Structure 1
Protein backbone atom coordinates (compact mmCIF):
# COMPACT_ATOMS: atom_id res chain seq x y z
CA UNK A 1 0.00 0.00 0.00
CA UNK A 2 1.16 3.55 -0.74
CA UNK A 3 2.20 5.50 2.35
CA UNK A 4 3.10 9.13 2.97
CA UNK A 5 5.88 9.33 5.52
CA UNK A 6 8.86 11.55 6.21
CA UNK A 7 11.50 8.80 6.15
CA UNK A 8 11.18 8.22 9.88
CA UNK A 9 9.44 4.86 9.77
CA UNK A 10 6.15 6.30 11.01
CA UNK A 11 3.37 5.09 8.70
CA UNK A 12 0.76 7.13 10.54
CA UNK A 13 -2.56 6.27 12.11
CA UNK A 14 -4.82 8.37 9.87
CA UNK A 15 -5.53 7.78 6.21
CA UNK A 16 -5.55 10.55 3.65
CA UNK A 17 -9.27 10.04 3.17
CA UNK A 18 -9.94 10.53 6.89
CA UNK A 19 -7.67 13.57 7.08
CA UNK A 20 -9.27 15.13 4.01
CA UNK A 21 -12.78 14.71 5.45
CA UNK A 22 -11.78 16.19 8.82
CA UNK A 23 -10.19 19.25 7.26
CA UNK A 24 -13.07 19.90 4.88
CA UNK A 25 -15.37 19.87 7.89
CA UNK A 26 -13.20 22.26 9.91
CA UNK A 27 -12.78 24.72 7.03
CA UNK A 28 -16.51 24.59 6.33
CA UNK A 29 -17.17 25.39 9.99
CA UNK A 30 -14.83 28.38 9.61
CA UNK A 31 -17.14 29.77 6.93
CA UNK A 32 -14.92 28.99 3.95
CA UNK A 33 -17.05 28.27 0.90
CA UNK A 34 -14.20 26.62 -0.97
CA UNK A 35 -13.37 24.23 1.89
CA UNK A 36 -13.06 21.10 -0.27
CA UNK A 37 -10.84 22.69 -2.91
CA UNK A 38 -8.69 24.46 -0.31
CA UNK A 39 -8.21 21.23 1.64
CA UNK A 40 -7.10 19.43 -1.49
CA UNK A 41 -4.68 22.21 -2.47
CA UNK A 42 -3.11 22.10 1.00
CA UNK A 43 -2.70 18.32 0.95
CA UNK A 44 -1.32 18.35 -2.58
CA UNK A 45 1.19 21.06 -1.70
CA UNK A 46 2.53 19.22 1.35
CA UNK A 47 2.61 15.78 -0.29
CA UNK A 48 3.64 16.99 -3.79
CA UNK A 49 0.59 15.42 -5.39
CA UNK A 50 -1.67 16.48 -8.23
CA UNK A 51 -5.35 16.82 -7.38
CA UNK A 52 -6.08 14.01 -9.81
CA UNK A 53 -3.68 11.70 -8.01
CA UNK A 54 -5.12 12.70 -4.64
CA UNK A 55 -8.58 11.46 -5.63
CA UNK A 56 -7.44 7.97 -6.61
CA UNK A 57 -8.83 5.31 -4.22
CA UNK A 58 -5.34 3.90 -3.61
CA UNK A 59 -4.10 7.34 -2.61
CA UNK A 60 -7.02 8.14 -0.33
CA UNK A 61 -6.59 4.90 1.62
CA UNK A 62 -2.89 5.52 2.21
CA UNK A 63 -1.77 6.30 5.77
CA UNK A 64 -0.14 9.66 6.46
CA UNK A 65 2.81 10.01 8.81
CA UNK A 66 2.52 12.16 11.90
CA UNK A 67 5.02 14.65 10.44
CA UNK A 68 3.08 15.16 7.19
CA UNK A 69 -0.22 15.17 9.08
CA UNK A 70 1.12 17.90 11.34
CA UNK A 71 2.20 20.04 8.39
CA UNK A 72 -1.14 19.62 6.67
CA UNK A 73 -3.11 20.41 9.83
CA UNK A 74 -0.97 23.49 10.48
CA UNK A 75 -1.71 24.85 7.00
CA UNK A 76 -5.41 24.11 7.44
CA UNK A 77 -5.47 25.85 10.83
CA UNK A 78 -3.84 28.87 9.22
CA UNK A 79 -6.48 28.87 6.47
CA UNK A 80 -9.26 28.56 9.06
CA UNK A 81 -8.29 32.01 10.36
CA UNK A 82 -9.37 33.25 6.89
CA UNK A 83 -5.80 33.89 5.82
CA UNK A 84 -5.88 33.59 2.01
CA UNK A 85 -4.95 30.16 0.69
CA UNK A 86 -2.25 31.73 -1.49
CA UNK A 87 -0.60 33.25 1.59
CA UNK A 88 -0.81 29.91 3.39
CA UNK A 89 0.86 28.08 0.51
CA UNK A 90 3.18 30.94 -0.41
CA UNK A 91 2.28 30.91 -4.09
CA UNK A 92 -0.40 31.92 -6.58
CA UNK A 93 -0.91 30.65 -10.14
CA UNK A 94 -1.15 33.29 -12.86
CA UNK A 95 -1.44 32.26 -16.51
CA UNK A 96 1.71 30.15 -17.10
CA UNK A 97 3.43 31.34 -13.93
CA UNK A 98 3.59 30.23 -10.30
CA UNK A 99 4.20 33.43 -8.37
CA UNK A 100 5.55 33.76 -4.85
CA UNK A 101 3.18 35.75 -2.64
CA UNK A 102 2.75 36.55 1.03
CA UNK A 103 1.62 39.25 3.41
CA UNK A 104 2.13 42.72 2.00
CA UNK A 105 1.30 41.96 -1.62
CA UNK A 106 -1.99 41.83 -3.51
CA UNK A 107 -2.88 38.31 -4.66
CA UNK A 108 -3.31 38.19 -8.46
CA UNK A 109 -6.85 37.27 -9.51
CA UNK A 110 -8.15 35.23 -12.47
CA UNK A 111 -9.81 38.31 -13.99
CA UNK A 112 -6.42 39.98 -14.22
CA UNK A 113 -5.25 37.09 -16.41
CA UNK A 114 -7.94 38.18 -18.86
CA UNK A 115 -6.88 41.83 -18.55
CA UNK A 116 -3.33 40.74 -19.37
CA UNK A 117 -4.64 39.03 -22.49
CA UNK A 118 -6.25 42.31 -23.58
CA UNK A 119 -2.80 43.87 -23.40
CA UNK A 120 -1.13 41.03 -25.30
CA UNK A 121 -3.84 41.20 -27.97
CA UNK A 122 -3.22 44.94 -28.33
CA UNK A 123 0.47 44.28 -28.88
CA UNK A 124 -0.27 41.65 -31.51
CA UNK A 125 -2.47 44.10 -33.44
CA UNK A 126 0.23 46.74 -33.73
CA UNK A 127 1.36 47.98 -37.14
CA UNK A 128 4.67 46.23 -37.98
CA UNK A 129 5.91 49.50 -39.53
CA UNK A 130 5.60 51.00 -36.04
CA UNK A 131 7.88 48.52 -34.27
CA UNK A 132 4.96 46.18 -33.86
CA UNK A 133 6.16 42.58 -34.00
CA UNK A 134 5.28 40.89 -30.71
CA UNK A 135 5.63 37.19 -31.46
CA UNK A 136 8.59 35.30 -29.92
CA UNK A 137 11.72 35.17 -32.08
CA UNK A 138 13.81 32.66 -30.18
CA UNK A 139 16.78 35.03 -30.09
CA UNK A 140 17.59 34.45 -26.42
CA UNK A 141 16.77 36.27 -23.23
CA UNK A 142 16.95 39.74 -24.77
CA UNK A 143 16.06 38.90 -28.37
CA UNK A 144 16.27 42.58 -29.30
CA UNK A 145 15.66 42.96 -33.02
CA UNK A 146 17.35 45.91 -34.64
CA UNK A 147 16.49 47.87 -37.75
CA UNK A 148 18.62 50.90 -38.52
CA UNK A 149 19.75 50.87 -34.90
CA UNK A 150 16.22 51.10 -33.47
CA UNK A 151 14.74 48.43 -31.15
CA UNK A 152 11.72 46.70 -32.66
CA UNK A 153 10.62 44.93 -29.50
CA UNK A 154 7.33 46.22 -28.09
CA UNK A 155 7.83 48.60 -25.17
CA UNK A 156 5.42 48.13 -22.26
CA UNK A 157 4.84 50.23 -19.16
CA UNK A 158 3.01 48.40 -16.37
CA UNK A 159 1.82 50.36 -13.33
CA UNK A 160 1.07 49.16 -9.78
CA UNK A 161 2.66 45.77 -10.37
CA UNK A 162 2.20 44.17 -6.94
CA UNK A 163 3.60 40.65 -7.34
CA UNK A 164 4.82 41.38 -10.87
CA UNK A 165 2.12 39.18 -12.39
CA UNK A 166 1.17 41.23 -15.46
CA UNK A 167 4.73 42.29 -16.24
CA UNK A 168 6.10 38.75 -16.06
CA UNK A 169 3.23 37.27 -18.06
CA UNK A 170 3.81 39.76 -20.89
CA UNK A 171 7.60 39.33 -20.74
CA UNK A 172 7.39 35.53 -20.89
CA UNK A 173 4.66 35.33 -23.53
CA UNK A 174 5.85 38.05 -25.95
CA UNK A 175 9.08 39.74 -27.05
CA UNK A 176 8.18 42.86 -25.08
CA UNK A 177 10.49 44.86 -22.85
CA UNK A 178 8.54 45.76 -19.71
CA UNK A 179 9.10 48.58 -17.23
CA UNK A 180 7.02 47.96 -14.12
CA UNK A 181 6.35 50.38 -11.24
CA UNK A 182 5.53 49.65 -7.60
CA UNK A 183 5.35 52.16 -4.73
CA UNK A 184 4.88 49.71 -1.85
CA UNK A 185 8.17 48.53 -0.34
CA UNK A 186 6.64 45.23 0.76
CA UNK A 187 5.00 44.51 -2.60
CA UNK A 188 8.16 45.48 -4.49
CA UNK A 189 10.07 42.82 -2.56
CA UNK A 190 7.67 40.16 -3.81
CA UNK A 191 7.86 41.53 -7.36
CA UNK A 192 11.66 41.42 -7.23
CA UNK A 193 11.55 37.83 -5.98
CA UNK A 194 9.29 36.78 -8.84
CA UNK A 195 11.35 38.63 -11.44
CA UNK A 196 14.40 36.73 -10.17
CA UNK A 197 12.39 33.50 -10.35
CA UNK A 198 11.68 34.10 -14.05
CA UNK A 199 14.91 35.73 -15.31
CA UNK A 200 13.84 36.81 -18.78
CA UNK A 201 16.09 39.88 -18.80
CA UNK A 202 13.05 41.74 -20.14
CA UNK A 203 11.58 43.26 -16.96
CA UNK A 204 12.83 46.36 -15.14
CA UNK A 205 11.29 46.94 -11.71
CA UNK A 206 11.16 50.61 -10.68
CA UNK A 207 10.44 51.19 -6.99
CA UNK A 208 8.75 54.57 -7.24
CA UNK A 209 5.39 56.25 -7.05
CA UNK A 210 3.88 56.28 -10.53
CA UNK A 211 3.34 60.04 -10.13
CA UNK A 212 7.03 60.39 -11.01
CA UNK A 213 6.08 59.41 -14.55
CA UNK A 214 4.31 62.74 -14.94
CA UNK A 215 7.71 64.45 -14.96
CA UNK A 216 10.59 62.00 -15.48
CA UNK A 217 12.31 62.46 -18.89
CA UNK A 218 13.10 58.80 -19.58
CA UNK A 219 12.83 55.27 -18.21
CA UNK A 220 15.83 53.22 -17.00
CA UNK A 221 17.80 51.41 -19.69
CA UNK A 222 16.63 47.88 -20.49
CA UNK A 223 17.59 45.58 -23.36
CA UNK A 224 19.14 48.37 -25.40
CA UNK A 225 16.15 50.68 -25.01
CA UNK A 226 15.65 53.73 -22.80
CA UNK A 227 12.19 55.05 -23.66
CA UNK A 228 11.23 58.68 -23.55
CA UNK A 229 7.69 60.07 -23.43
CA UNK A 230 5.79 59.27 -26.61
CA UNK A 231 7.52 55.94 -27.30
CA UNK A 232 5.63 53.28 -25.30
CA UNK A 233 3.45 50.77 -27.17
CA UNK A 234 1.29 49.63 -24.24
CA UNK A 235 0.43 50.99 -20.80
CA UNK A 236 -1.34 48.36 -18.70
CA UNK A 237 -2.43 48.31 -15.08
CA UNK A 238 -4.51 46.67 -12.40
CA UNK A 239 -4.56 49.68 -10.06
CA UNK A 240 -6.34 50.19 -6.75
CA UNK A 241 -9.92 51.10 -7.66
CA UNK A 242 -12.13 50.34 -4.63
CA UNK A 243 -13.94 53.44 -3.27
CA UNK A 244 -12.62 54.26 0.20
CA UNK A 245 -16.04 53.83 1.79
CA UNK A 246 -16.72 50.39 0.31
CA UNK A 247 -14.95 48.02 2.68
CA UNK A 248 -14.98 44.45 1.27
CA UNK A 249 -16.97 41.93 3.31
CA UNK A 250 -14.74 38.95 2.55
CA UNK A 251 -12.15 38.62 5.37
CA UNK A 252 -9.49 37.36 2.98
CA UNK A 253 -9.68 40.66 1.12
CA UNK A 254 -10.60 43.07 3.93
CA UNK A 255 -8.02 41.82 6.44
CA UNK A 256 -5.14 40.73 4.24
CA UNK A 257 -4.97 42.55 0.91
CA UNK A 258 -2.86 45.71 1.37
CA UNK A 259 -5.00 48.83 1.63
CA UNK A 260 -2.65 50.58 -0.80
CA UNK A 261 -3.59 47.98 -3.41
CA UNK A 262 -7.34 48.33 -2.84
CA UNK A 263 -8.50 51.90 -2.21
CA UNK A 264 -8.23 55.01 -4.37
CA UNK A 265 -10.32 57.90 -3.12
CA UNK A 266 -14.02 58.40 -2.60
CA UNK A 267 -15.02 57.03 -6.01
CA UNK A 268 -12.08 54.64 -6.40
CA UNK A 269 -10.82 56.49 -9.47
CA UNK A 270 -8.15 58.84 -8.10
CA UNK A 271 -5.22 56.81 -9.34
CA UNK A 272 -6.91 55.97 -12.63
CA UNK A 273 -7.13 59.72 -13.33
CA UNK A 274 -3.37 59.94 -12.88
CA UNK A 275 -2.81 56.82 -14.99
CA UNK A 276 -4.78 58.28 -17.89
CA UNK A 277 -2.50 61.35 -17.94
CA UNK A 278 0.59 59.13 -17.70
CA UNK A 279 -0.66 57.01 -20.59
CA UNK A 280 -1.25 60.05 -22.79
CA UNK A 281 2.28 61.27 -22.03
CA UNK A 282 4.15 58.02 -22.57
CA UNK A 283 2.24 56.24 -25.35
CA UNK A 284 3.45 56.52 -28.92
CA UNK A 285 0.84 57.59 -31.48
CA UNK A 286 -1.44 54.57 -31.88
CA UNK A 287 -0.27 53.02 -28.60
CA UNK A 288 -2.85 51.44 -26.28
CA UNK A 289 -3.76 51.64 -22.60
CA UNK A 290 -5.53 48.83 -20.69
CA UNK A 291 -7.01 49.49 -17.23
CA UNK A 292 -8.79 47.05 -14.92
CA UNK A 293 -11.67 48.43 -12.82
CA UNK A 294 -14.94 47.42 -11.16
CA UNK A 295 -17.97 46.55 -13.25
CA UNK A 296 -19.66 49.81 -12.13
CA UNK A 297 -16.85 52.12 -13.24
CA UNK A 298 -16.72 51.59 -17.01
CA UNK A 299 -18.51 54.76 -18.10
CA UNK A 300 -16.48 56.98 -15.75
CA UNK A 301 -13.19 55.39 -16.81
CA UNK A 302 -14.07 56.02 -20.47
CA UNK A 303 -14.74 59.67 -19.64
CA UNK A 304 -11.42 59.95 -17.81
CA UNK A 305 -9.52 58.43 -20.74
CA UNK A 306 -11.20 60.78 -23.21
CA UNK A 307 -10.58 63.82 -21.03
CA UNK A 308 -6.88 62.89 -20.95
CA UNK A 309 -6.73 63.14 -24.73
CA UNK A 310 -7.00 59.43 -25.58
CA UNK A 311 -9.34 58.17 -28.28
CA UNK A 312 -11.75 55.28 -28.85
CA UNK A 313 -12.32 54.45 -25.18
CA UNK A 314 -14.03 51.08 -24.92
CA UNK A 315 -15.12 48.93 -21.98
CA UNK A 316 -14.73 45.16 -22.28
CA UNK A 317 -16.74 42.34 -20.73
CA UNK A 318 -14.82 39.54 -19.08
CA UNK A 319 -15.56 35.80 -19.31
CA UNK A 320 -18.37 36.22 -16.76
CA UNK A 321 -19.93 39.03 -18.86
CA UNK A 322 -18.91 41.77 -16.42
CA UNK A 323 -17.47 45.10 -17.58
CA UNK A 324 -14.07 44.80 -15.90
CA UNK A 325 -11.57 46.66 -18.09
CA UNK A 326 -11.37 49.64 -20.42
CA UNK A 327 -9.00 50.44 -23.25
CA UNK A 328 -8.13 53.47 -25.38
CA UNK A 329 -5.49 54.61 -27.86
CA UNK A 330 -3.35 57.64 -28.31
CA UNK A 331 -4.33 59.45 -31.51
CA UNK A 332 -2.13 58.49 -34.45
CA UNK A 333 -0.07 61.10 -36.25
Structure 2
Protein backbone atom coordinates (compact mmCIF):
# COMPACT_ATOMS: atom_id res chain seq x y z
CA UNK A 1 0.00 0.00 0.00
CA UNK A 2 1.38 3.39 -1.01
CA UNK A 3 2.12 6.09 1.58
CA UNK A 4 1.90 9.87 1.16
CA UNK A 5 5.07 11.61 0.02
CA UNK A 6 5.22 13.61 3.26
CA UNK A 7 5.10 10.45 5.38
CA UNK A 8 7.77 8.79 3.22
CA UNK A 9 9.99 11.83 3.65
CA UNK A 10 9.70 11.70 7.44
CA UNK A 11 10.34 7.95 7.49
CA UNK A 12 13.47 8.27 5.36
CA UNK A 13 14.80 11.07 7.58
CA UNK A 14 14.21 8.96 10.67
CA UNK A 15 16.06 5.99 9.20
CA UNK A 16 19.00 8.10 8.07
CA UNK A 17 19.48 9.58 11.52
CA UNK A 18 21.86 6.77 12.44
CA UNK A 19 24.33 7.56 9.63
CA UNK A 20 23.88 11.27 8.94
CA UNK A 21 24.16 14.51 10.88
CA UNK A 22 21.67 16.12 8.45
CA UNK A 23 19.08 13.37 7.87
CA UNK A 24 16.25 15.73 6.89
CA UNK A 25 18.33 17.31 4.14
CA UNK A 26 19.52 13.96 2.83
CA UNK A 27 15.95 12.66 2.87
CA UNK A 28 14.73 15.65 0.84
CA UNK A 29 17.44 15.18 -1.77
CA UNK A 30 16.67 11.47 -2.11
CA UNK A 31 12.91 11.95 -2.36
CA UNK A 32 13.32 14.79 -4.88
CA UNK A 33 15.38 12.53 -7.14
CA UNK A 34 12.99 9.61 -6.65
CA UNK A 35 10.12 11.83 -7.80
CA UNK A 36 12.10 13.79 -10.38
CA UNK A 37 11.08 17.13 -8.90
CA UNK A 38 12.63 20.17 -7.24
CA UNK A 39 12.09 21.23 -3.63
CA UNK A 40 9.01 23.33 -4.46
CA UNK A 41 7.41 20.38 -6.22
CA UNK A 42 8.11 18.18 -3.21
CA UNK A 43 6.13 20.52 -0.96
CA UNK A 44 3.15 20.42 -3.31
CA UNK A 45 3.15 16.62 -3.38
CA UNK A 46 3.18 16.09 0.38
CA UNK A 47 -0.28 14.52 0.49
CA UNK A 48 0.01 12.61 -2.78
CA UNK A 49 0.83 8.88 -2.74
CA UNK A 50 4.42 7.92 -3.44
CA UNK A 51 4.50 5.94 -6.73
CA UNK A 52 5.60 2.33 -6.41
CA UNK A 53 8.65 2.76 -8.65
CA UNK A 54 9.79 5.80 -6.63
CA UNK A 55 9.24 3.91 -3.38
CA UNK A 56 11.38 1.00 -4.59
CA UNK A 57 14.17 3.30 -5.79
CA UNK A 58 14.08 5.20 -2.52
CA UNK A 59 14.21 2.06 -0.38
CA UNK A 60 17.20 0.76 -2.34
CA UNK A 61 19.11 4.03 -1.92
CA UNK A 62 18.34 4.26 1.79
CA UNK A 63 19.58 0.70 2.32
CA UNK A 64 22.82 1.57 0.52
CA UNK A 65 23.21 4.70 2.64
CA UNK A 66 22.64 2.72 5.83
CA UNK A 67 25.35 0.29 4.66
CA UNK A 68 27.80 3.20 4.59
CA UNK A 69 27.74 4.24 0.93
CA UNK A 70 28.49 7.97 0.65
CA UNK A 71 25.49 10.18 -0.08
CA UNK A 72 26.68 11.36 -3.54
CA UNK A 73 26.81 7.75 -4.77
CA UNK A 74 23.31 7.15 -3.41
CA UNK A 75 22.01 10.27 -5.13
CA UNK A 76 23.94 9.58 -8.34
CA UNK A 77 24.86 13.25 -8.73
CA UNK A 78 26.91 15.84 -6.88
CA UNK A 79 27.56 19.53 -7.35
CA UNK A 80 31.00 20.84 -8.29
CA UNK A 81 31.78 24.45 -9.20
CA UNK A 82 28.14 25.05 -10.12
CA UNK A 83 27.89 21.93 -12.28
CA UNK A 84 25.71 18.94 -11.46
CA UNK A 85 28.00 15.98 -12.01
CA UNK A 86 26.90 12.37 -12.36
CA UNK A 87 28.97 10.20 -10.00
CA UNK A 88 29.21 6.52 -9.10
CA UNK A 89 31.79 4.37 -7.27
CA UNK A 90 34.00 4.31 -10.38
CA UNK A 91 35.00 7.95 -9.71
CA UNK A 92 36.03 10.03 -6.74
CA UNK A 93 33.37 12.29 -5.26
CA UNK A 94 34.13 15.87 -6.40
CA UNK A 95 35.06 17.94 -3.35
CA UNK A 96 35.26 21.68 -2.62
CA UNK A 97 39.03 21.27 -2.06
CA UNK A 98 39.44 20.55 -5.77
CA UNK A 99 37.70 23.79 -6.72
CA UNK A 100 41.02 25.41 -5.73
CA UNK A 101 42.54 23.70 -8.79
CA UNK A 102 39.83 25.22 -11.00
CA UNK A 103 40.44 28.66 -9.49
CA UNK A 104 44.15 28.32 -10.23
CA UNK A 105 43.37 27.38 -13.84
CA UNK A 106 41.02 30.31 -14.40
CA UNK A 107 43.60 32.69 -12.96
CA UNK A 108 46.01 31.62 -15.70
CA UNK A 109 43.50 31.57 -18.56
CA UNK A 110 42.30 34.84 -20.11
CA UNK A 111 38.58 35.13 -20.80
CA UNK A 112 39.31 35.66 -24.48
CA UNK A 113 41.78 33.90 -26.70
CA UNK A 114 42.37 30.21 -27.28
CA UNK A 115 44.52 28.26 -24.85
CA UNK A 116 45.16 24.53 -24.74
CA UNK A 117 44.53 22.88 -21.36
CA UNK A 118 45.11 19.30 -20.19
CA UNK A 119 43.47 17.60 -17.19
CA UNK A 120 45.29 14.41 -16.15
CA UNK A 121 43.39 11.69 -14.29
CA UNK A 122 40.12 13.45 -14.97
CA UNK A 123 37.88 10.98 -13.09
CA UNK A 124 34.30 12.28 -13.35
CA UNK A 125 35.55 15.10 -15.59
CA UNK A 126 34.76 17.69 -12.92
CA UNK A 127 37.86 19.88 -13.34
CA UNK A 128 37.95 19.67 -17.14
CA UNK A 129 34.27 20.50 -17.47
CA UNK A 130 34.37 23.35 -14.95
CA UNK A 131 37.25 24.95 -16.88
CA UNK A 132 35.52 24.29 -20.23
CA UNK A 133 32.39 26.05 -19.07
CA UNK A 134 34.21 29.06 -17.60
CA UNK A 135 36.61 29.41 -20.57
CA UNK A 136 34.67 28.24 -23.64
CA UNK A 137 37.43 29.37 -26.02
CA UNK A 138 39.96 27.04 -24.38
CA UNK A 139 40.79 23.77 -26.12
CA UNK A 140 40.24 21.24 -23.36
CA UNK A 141 41.85 17.80 -23.22
CA UNK A 142 41.40 15.16 -20.51
CA UNK A 143 43.07 11.79 -19.87
CA UNK A 144 41.80 8.94 -17.69
CA UNK A 145 43.15 5.39 -17.40
CA UNK A 146 40.00 3.81 -15.91
CA UNK A 147 37.49 2.92 -18.66
CA UNK A 148 34.63 3.08 -16.16
CA UNK A 149 35.64 6.53 -14.94
CA UNK A 150 36.17 7.80 -18.48
CA UNK A 151 32.65 6.70 -19.39
CA UNK A 152 31.30 8.79 -16.48
CA UNK A 153 33.33 11.81 -17.62
CA UNK A 154 32.18 11.49 -21.23
CA UNK A 155 28.59 11.17 -20.10
CA UNK A 156 28.90 14.31 -18.00
CA UNK A 157 30.39 16.19 -20.94
CA UNK A 158 27.57 15.12 -23.25
CA UNK A 159 24.86 15.97 -20.74
CA UNK A 160 26.35 19.40 -20.03
CA UNK A 161 27.05 20.13 -23.69
CA UNK A 162 30.73 20.93 -23.09
CA UNK A 163 33.45 20.01 -25.58
CA UNK A 164 36.45 18.07 -24.27
CA UNK A 165 38.91 15.79 -26.06
CA UNK A 166 38.65 12.63 -23.93
CA UNK A 167 41.55 10.15 -24.07
CA UNK A 168 42.02 6.77 -22.42
CA UNK A 169 45.43 6.01 -20.97
CA UNK A 170 48.02 6.62 -18.30
CA UNK A 171 49.01 10.27 -17.77
CA UNK A 172 50.72 11.62 -20.93
CA UNK A 173 50.90 8.31 -22.84
CA UNK A 174 47.80 8.68 -25.08
CA UNK A 175 48.52 12.25 -26.21
CA UNK A 176 49.30 12.87 -29.89
CA UNK A 177 53.05 13.33 -30.47
CA UNK A 178 54.20 16.93 -30.33
CA UNK A 179 51.03 18.30 -28.73
CA UNK A 180 51.87 20.96 -26.15
CA UNK A 181 49.73 22.78 -23.63
CA UNK A 182 49.56 26.19 -22.04
CA UNK A 183 48.29 24.68 -18.80
CA UNK A 184 48.37 21.18 -17.31
CA UNK A 185 46.21 20.30 -14.31
CA UNK A 186 46.09 17.14 -12.22
CA UNK A 187 44.46 15.85 -9.07
CA UNK A 188 46.37 12.55 -8.99
CA UNK A 189 46.46 9.87 -6.30
CA UNK A 190 48.48 11.29 -3.40
CA UNK A 191 47.76 9.09 -0.39
CA UNK A 192 50.38 6.74 1.05
CA UNK A 193 49.47 3.13 1.77
CA UNK A 194 49.29 3.82 5.53
CA UNK A 195 47.32 7.07 5.29
CA UNK A 196 44.88 7.33 8.22
CA UNK A 197 42.14 8.77 5.96
CA UNK A 198 41.80 5.57 3.93
CA UNK A 199 39.20 3.79 6.10
CA UNK A 200 36.78 6.69 5.64
CA UNK A 201 37.32 6.50 1.86
CA UNK A 202 36.80 2.75 1.49
CA UNK A 203 33.84 3.15 -0.90
CA UNK A 204 35.79 5.32 -3.37
CA UNK A 205 38.09 3.91 -6.08
CA UNK A 206 41.35 3.06 -4.36
CA UNK A 207 43.38 3.40 -7.57
CA UNK A 208 42.39 7.08 -7.64
CA UNK A 209 43.58 7.58 -4.06
CA UNK A 210 46.69 5.46 -3.44
CA UNK A 211 49.96 6.63 -4.96
CA UNK A 212 52.45 4.30 -3.30
CA UNK A 213 54.60 4.04 -0.19
CA UNK A 214 55.24 7.78 0.13
CA UNK A 215 52.14 9.26 -1.50
CA UNK A 216 54.33 11.34 -3.83
CA UNK A 217 54.84 8.82 -6.62
CA UNK A 218 52.19 10.11 -9.05
CA UNK A 219 52.95 13.74 -8.28
CA UNK A 220 56.63 13.12 -9.05
CA UNK A 221 55.88 11.28 -12.29
CA UNK A 222 53.69 14.11 -13.57
CA UNK A 223 56.09 16.87 -12.52
CA UNK A 224 59.02 15.12 -14.21
CA UNK A 225 57.23 14.52 -17.51
CA UNK A 226 55.19 17.73 -17.74
CA UNK A 227 57.92 20.02 -19.17
CA UNK A 228 57.96 17.93 -22.34
CA UNK A 229 54.28 18.69 -22.88
CA UNK A 230 54.14 22.40 -22.04
CA UNK A 231 54.82 25.45 -24.21
CA UNK A 232 57.52 27.84 -22.96
CA UNK A 233 56.02 29.74 -20.07
CA UNK A 234 53.39 27.02 -19.59
CA UNK A 235 52.02 26.27 -16.14
CA UNK A 236 51.58 23.03 -14.18
CA UNK A 237 49.06 22.89 -11.33
CA UNK A 238 48.93 19.89 -8.97
CA UNK A 239 46.45 19.14 -6.20
CA UNK A 240 48.00 17.33 -3.23
CA UNK A 241 47.59 16.55 0.44
CA UNK A 242 47.63 19.30 3.06
CA UNK A 243 51.03 18.18 4.36
CA UNK A 244 52.70 17.76 0.96
CA UNK A 245 53.16 21.36 -0.17
CA UNK A 246 56.86 21.59 0.62
CA UNK A 247 57.61 18.25 -1.04
CA UNK A 248 55.68 19.16 -4.19
CA UNK A 249 57.44 22.52 -4.47
CA UNK A 250 60.72 20.62 -4.36
CA UNK A 251 59.50 18.27 -7.10
CA UNK A 252 58.60 21.19 -9.35
CA UNK A 253 61.93 22.93 -8.78
CA UNK A 254 63.78 19.70 -9.60
CA UNK A 255 61.78 19.41 -12.84
CA UNK A 256 62.79 22.91 -13.94
CA UNK A 257 59.73 24.93 -12.92
CA UNK A 258 60.39 28.47 -11.77
CA UNK A 259 59.30 29.74 -8.35
CA UNK A 260 56.66 27.14 -7.49
CA UNK A 261 53.89 28.44 -5.26
CA UNK A 262 51.43 26.62 -3.04
CA UNK A 263 47.84 27.86 -2.83
CA UNK A 264 45.46 27.25 0.06
CA UNK A 265 41.94 25.88 -0.10
CA UNK A 266 38.85 27.42 1.54
CA UNK A 267 39.80 25.81 4.85
CA UNK A 268 43.25 27.44 4.74
CA UNK A 269 45.13 24.21 4.02
CA UNK A 270 47.91 23.92 1.46
CA UNK A 271 46.12 22.22 -1.44
CA UNK A 272 47.45 23.14 -4.91
CA UNK A 273 51.01 23.84 -6.02
CA UNK A 274 51.86 25.46 -9.35
CA UNK A 275 54.95 26.41 -11.28
CA UNK A 276 55.75 27.78 -14.72
CA UNK A 277 58.42 26.86 -17.22
CA UNK A 278 60.95 29.55 -18.17
CA UNK A 279 59.57 31.46 -21.15
Output the TM-score relative to the length of structure 1. 0.76
Q: Does 1:324 align with 2:274?
A: no
Pair 1:291–1:26, CA change in 2 (3 A): same
Mapped contact 1:316–1:323 kept (Cα < 8 A): yes
With 319-328 and 66-75 compared, the bigger mean Cα shift is at 66-75
2:144 corresponds, among 174, 182, 188, to: 182
What TM-score, normalized to structure 2? 0.90
Q: Matched residues in 1 for 2:226 and 2:160: separation?
A: 27
Q: Unaligned 5+ residue runs, structure 1? A: 1-9, 125-133, 136-151, 214-218, 221-226
TM-superposed deviation, 1:207 = 0.7
Cα distance, 1:290 vs. partner?
1.1
Q: 1:67 Cα shift?
A: 4.3
- 1:53 shift after superposition: 5.3
Aligned residues: 278
Preserved contact between residue 100 and residue 272 of structure 2 (Cα < 8 Å): no
By how many angstroms is 1:250 displaced? Answer: 5.2
Report what 2:167 is aligned to: 206
2 CA distance for matches of 1:67 and 1:179?
39
Match of 1:197 among 159, 165, 169: 159
Aligned counterparts of 2:165 and 2:54: Cα–Cα separation in 1: 40
Hey, what's the Cα distance between the residues in 1 that align with 2:22 and 2:194? 27
Instruction: Tell whether the 8 Å contact from 2:116 to 2:140 is kept in structure 1 after alignment.
Output: yes
Structure 2: which 5+ runs fail to align? Answer: none
Runs of 4+ with deviation above 4 angstroms: 58-63
Contact 1:153 1:176 in 2 (8 A): yes
Rg bigger for which structure?
Answer: 1
Post-superposition Cα deviations, 1:121-157, rounded to whole Å, max 9, x if no partner, equal: 1113xxxxxxxxx43xxxxxxxxxxxxxxxx510111
Structure 2: how far apart are the matches of 1:65 and 1:192?
Answer: 32
- Two-structure CA RMSD over aligned residues (Å): 2.3
| Pair 1:281 & 2:228 matched | yes
**Aligned residue among 211, 214, 219 for 1:267:** 214
Partners of 1:247 and 1:258 in 2: CA distance: 16
Which residue, 302, 307, 311 being the options, matches 2:254? 307
1:184-239, CA deviations, whole angstroms, 9 ceiling, x for partnerless residues? 12212222222332343x411111111527xxxxx44xxxxxx836x411010111
Whole-Å Cα distance in 1 between the matches of residues 26 and 238 of structure 2? 30
Q: Compared with structure 1, are the counterparts of its residues 51 and 248 closer, same or farther at alpha carbon in structure 2 (3 Å cutoff)?
A: farther
Matching residue within 98, 105, 117 for 2:103: 117
- How far did residue 105 of structure 1 move? 1.7
